[in-house]
Amino acid sequence: MTMEFRHAQLDNGLTIVAEVNASAASMASGFFVRTGSRDEQPVVAGVSHFLEHMMFKGTKRRSPADVNREFDEMGANYNAFTSEEYTVYYGAVLPEFQARLLDLLCDIVRPSLRQEDFDVEKGVILEEIAMYRDMPRWRVFESLMAQHFGAHPLGNSVLGSPESIRALRRDDMMDYFRRRYSPGNMTLVGVGNLDFDAFVDKARAMCGAWEPCRADRDLSPPAATGTHQVLRDEKVAREHIGLISPAPSAQDPRRHAAHLAASIAGDTTGSRLYYALVDPAIADEAATAYEPFDHAGLMFTFLTADAEN
* 155 vs 223: CA distance, rounded Å: 11
| 288 vs 263: CA distance, rounded Å | 7
What are the distances in angstroms from CA 46 to CA 103, 201, 249, 274? 28, 35, 24, 35
Cβ atoms of 298 and 252 within 8 Å: the answer is no
Bridge partners (DSSP) listed for residue 5: 19
Cα–Cα distance, 294 to 199 (Å, whole number)? 28
Give the strand order in the sheet containing 87-93: 4-9, 15-20, 186-192, 27-33, 87-93, 77-82
**Does the annotation mark 163 as catalytic?**
no
Q: Catalytic: which of 52, 84, 85, 291?
A: 52
Whole-Å CA distances, 215 to 45, 53, 175, 245: 17, 21, 12, 29
Classify residue 51 by burial, with Cβ atoms within 10 Å: 0-12, 13-18, 19+: buried
Q: Are 104 and 71 in contact (CB under 8 A)?
A: yes
Residue 198 · residue 99 · CB < 8 Å: yes
* Residues involved in catalysis: 52
